[in-house]
Amino acid sequence: MTDMRKQEESGQFQNFCRMAPEDFDHLLSLTIEKIRKSSTNFRDSIPAYDKLAVTLRFLQLEIPMKLFISDTVNRRRMAINRSGIQCIGAVDGKHCVIQAPINSGSDFFNYKSTFSVVLMAIVDANYNFIFADIGCQGRISDGGVFRNTSFYQKLQNNELNLPNDQSLPGRQQNMPFVFVADDAFPLQRHIMKPYPGTHARGSEKRIYNYRLSRARRIVENAFGILSAVFRVLRKPMLLQPDKASLIVKTCVYLHNYLMKRKASRKLYNSPGMMDRIEDDVVIPGQWRNMDRLSSFLPLPNTGRRHTLQCENIRKEFSDYFNLTNILPWQNNIA
């Protein structure tokens, strides 16, 4: 490891750790007290430097914990403006496949006939995870996973410090700030999801779904980058659920750390990795062309009943997209 460090100019160090040397040093300074061990008369301890480097490399090879990164919502940092909606973040979840746990029966057996722990996360406009719940048993229904998260409890108890309702530009009705999700989640006052079914090209519901998907693409790309770099997520983890949850949690922390570090951001998230829009056309990110992620599974879509108030909120957003905030190309694409 020391010889590799001396060859930083060749790029070998960056290729091994996927971060700049100065960021590695900073990360080491944050963790050294917890991973450093004392040498004994029988053997020398493994240096903390080597431990961190090998751990980072392990996470990049294909070989219940809860994390609440932010208890409060900062509207300026988290608003996703790509959809024209008063959006705070994008919600999604993944099944992280593991080997069959010892004496667990069907507790972790999921809908894909594999064993898994669930990663439920919310991503902001900068592709950072602002909430993650890791370790829920794969057998639990997706609605049950969501209802058991601390985020859901805080949302129901109005403890997220969300901005006050305000009207959309050019509209009169006060509207809540919302999280965007797919059909695996319930439609609620602060959670917007697409209209179910297939709709005619250019119809109001199809345009609404298109605008919502522009915002949801953020969380899809965050998961894509996460699994593209930390390839330990791409194959079944031969670990017990508590260790697998710790691995996933570590990947989430490292994702946020690297996305915020100027020196390592381009090494971690290389140009072209994420989806981008050119001339009003979405160019798929490189992570979408990689091998099929057989061990990082999406949550299945499930139908749920919702209140008339939630339907009216969705209808107001739909009217806003179709009548007030019209994108020049939306009728040609949606």
pLDDT tens for each residue of 199-256: 888 889 999 998 898 888 899 999 999 988 888 888 889 899 999 999 999 999 999 9
Block residue for tokens 């997520």: 233
Sign of CA dihedral 288, 291, 295, 299: positive
Q: Domain check: are 47 and 125 in the same one?
A: no
pLDDT band at 153 (very low <50, low <70, confident <90, very high): confident
pLDDT tens for each residue of 93-118: 889 999 999 888 888 988 888 899 99
Q: Give the SS3 label for residue 46.
A: coil
Length of the chain: 334
Domain boundary among 60, 82, 101: 60
Q: Domain check: are 185 and 39 in the same one?
A: no
On the question of pLDDT at 78 being above 70, the answer is no
Q: What is the mean pLDDT of the chain?
A: 81
Q: Domain check: are 85 and 168 in the same one?
A: yes
Q: Whole domain around residue 298: which residue ranges?
A: 65-333
Of 47 and 332, the structure prediction assigns the larger pLDDT to 47
Domain boundary among 60, 78, 106: 60
Q: Which amino acid makes up residue 140?
A: I
> Please, how many CA atoms are within 13 Å of residue 236, restricted to the half-sphere of its CB?
11
pLDDT band at 8 (very low <50, low <70, confident <90, very high): low
